[in-house]
Structure 1
Amino acid sequence: EAEAGSFFRYMAEYVGFTPADAALIRQTQPIIAKYLPEIVGDFYTHLLRYPLTRRLFLLPDGTLNEAYLMLRMRHLSNFWLRTAEGVYDDAYAGYVDYVGRAHTSHGADPTIYVPERYVIGQVGMIQHAISRAVSNELRGQDDELEFRAVEAWDKLMMVLLEMLARAYGHEREPEADGAPLPVDADWVRALADRAIALEHGAAPARALRRVAVAKVEEIPDGQRKIVEVDGLSIGVFHHQGVWVALRNSCVHQGGPVATGALAGEVLTCPWHGYQYDLRSGRCLTDPHAELDRYAVTVAGDTVFVDVPQGGPAAAVQTQGGPAAAVQAQGGPVAVAQAQAAPATLQANEFRAADLAAGQMLPLTVDGRSILVYNVDGTFYATDETCTHAQGPLSIGHLDGKVITCLLHGSCFDVTTGAVVCAPATEPLKTYPVTLDGDIGRVMIA
């Protein structure tokens, strides 16, 4: 990050990008957020028109990989929203450097290669779209601010071009031609709307229910509690007056991230050191990943968390008395179990009536993370983590019998565990599911 930061500052000085310009960009952040679905939708419409860029989003059968397309839209929206924050420190420069390398054979996945000209084209297209958005909002209201803000963005784009292009080094991409293809721009725009809504806090894709997880007095400011709700482990943090709930499963290998060290607003997984921004859940080690977040509501003396629908309302009770405090760097961690009411289910059990067709339910059975699916009235179960990079499938997209991991777009047939689309190559482990009346059971050998 320090080296990338030094290069960013050098280029900023070279093009005359100043802290005053950064402040102007911060002023335009609401404008960028407002126009982002249009900007992202138009950009991907353009990519899908041309065979050489369209191929990046195709399944093996030649159809569009909608889940992967949405994932890329989410990443693009994150990049430009973070850029619009106007904070250009070493961490931001390192992030841009990572994004640049991710498009080349030097990135984390060497099978991904996007020719440099397309990255340059993206920056140019986004630059034009941002300038147009700023002008639409400010022209006639504050013409001086419009001019200065557009100029600030233009200078920043010159810096970003150098940051992204330098990742390519001496690589050369093959030249090829392809006639433009017809694209349903309205469909792409709608997909961008969905992707950005999913990424930035609009209505969740699955039904939620509100669960009482603690009394306010149990989690003083600076402390946290780990709770289990229907097999889903969640870390509830009270940090500097703000309540945050994150899934207690590191995106790397599923480590208990919510029990890790908390330094300022940086949460570190105790297993392999992956770091996250506490408030957003964004992974600082891998900017393409993030922890699942849950809305927290404080009503009276009770803390509630909105969790994916998957069982009856649950209230936190600690087996054997008050929650035991476990000392961890960054504050004590209280561990509690959320008990289902009115009847207690075993770890491998679920109520069929609570899992509608097309829905998923995570369970933890004998230390294994399992995901149960209702596919047209028949229940199936697989491991909950993707075999490619251990991404959490419970936040993925279930379409019929195909589950898509949102981390890198791998797809699996949940009825057999078979891989449907890359980059995964190993199938999911499957488990038999039995029904006894309304009670479903996942059978772990």
Structure 2
Amino acid sequence: MSANDDPRVPPGADMEGYLRELALFAGFDDGDAAAIRASAAAVLKNEEALTTALYDHFLRFPATARFFVGPDGAPDRARIDRRKHSLARWLRETAQAALTHEYAYYLLSMGIAHSHRDYGPGGRIPPQFMVAAMSLTQTALAAIFRDEMGDPARALAASVAWNKLLLLNLNALLVGYLLPPRTPPRGPAATRSS
């Protein structure tokens, strides 16, 4: 029995196992990993445009702009540039399509940074914006594959593969938001600790 078979064990106890089980369930296979690696050059070629478009989108909506503005209400360009750098790193890591121990915990750390951030502009990132940002990313990648790959079948295969992997990523990123509730101790041990 894996840690993920017990609903009381947080997925973070075995993130690599958690991602691999989800990959199997979602049908993410070696062919998908190969399609991602084959399309990585197109993604990385457009990394700057993609990250800029995403953060420009965030700035258009007050609910998300609040995470990227300074005390004067103007966009904090230094902060945005750091976030774009982090997003670009995530794209590069994801383009390797390797569900390793290191990658799994990299995703968990990113998710915790978003879900438990009680400091800085805007505070904690609401989970609905994590989901919506992933949707924006999927849409942008589909357009990149359409424009860059030249072959509709290859573009579709890349888009399908990236969609699977991005939703695996989203699951890992949301772990910080979706940890199962702790069960309070019962019996004599519960009364002794009170």
TM exceeding 0.5:
yes
Match of 2:103 among 81, 92, 109: 92
Would the aligned equivalents of 2:115 and 2:176 in 1 still touch at CA under 8 Å? yes
Where does the alignment leave 5 or more consecutive residues of structure 2 unmatched? Answer: 1-11, 181-194
Q: Of the two structures, which has the highest relative contact order with CA contacts closer than 8 Å and spacing of 6 or more?
A: 2
Q: State the distance in 1 between where 2:118 and 2:167 align.
A: 27
Q: Partner of 2:67: helix, strand, or coil?
A: helix
Work out whether 1:132 is the aligned partner of 2:140.
Answer: no
Match of 2:55 among 44, 54, 58: 44
1:61 deviation in Å?
Answer: 2.3
Q: What is the RMSD of the two structures over their aligned residues, measured on CA atoms?
A: 1.8
The residue aligned with 2:30 is: 19
Match of 1:116 among 127, 148, 156: 127
1:79 deviation in Å?
Answer: 0.6
Q: State the distance in 1 between where 2:118 and 2:59 align.
A: 23
1:2 deviation in Å?
Answer: 6.9
Q: State the distance in 1 between where 2:149 and 2:71 align.
A: 46
Would the aligned equivalents of 1:2 and 1:94 in 2 still touch at CA under 8 Å? no
Structure 2 matches for 1:308-319, cutoff 5 A?
none
More strand by share: 1
More helix by share: 2
The residue aligned with 1:59 is: 70
Match of 2:152 among 143, 162, 166: 143
Where does the alignment leave 5 or more consecutive residues of structure 1 unmatched? Answer: 172-445
Q: State the distance in 1 between where 2:53 and 2:76 align.
A: 18
Identify if the C-alpha distance between structure 1 residues 64 and 143 changes in structure 2 by more than 3 Å, giving closer, same or farther.
closer
Q: State the distance in 2 between where 1:86 and 1:148 align.
A: 14
Q: Partner of 1:24: helix, strand, or coil?
A: helix
Q: State the distance in 2 between where 1:2 and 1:18 align.
A: 24
Number of corresponding residues: 166
Q: State the distance in 2 between where 1:32 and 1:91 align.
A: 22
Would the aligned equivalents of 1:97 and 1:163 in 2 still touch at CA under 8 Å? yes
The residue aligned with 1:5 is: 16
* TM-score scaled by length of structure 2: 0.80
Identify if the C-alpha distance between structure 1 residues 129 and 96 changes in structure 2 by more than 3 Å, giving closer, same or farther.
same
Q: Percent identity?
A: 28
Q: State the distance in 1 between where 2:62 and 2:17 align.
A: 38
Larger radius of gyration: 1
The residue aligned with 2:189 is: none
Would the aligned equivalents of 2:42 and 2:149 in 1 still touch at CA under 8 Å? no
1:162 deviation in Å?
Answer: 1.4
The residue aligned with 2:171 is: 162
1:57 deviation in Å?
Answer: 1.4
Q: Partner of 1:56: helix, strand, or coil?
A: coil
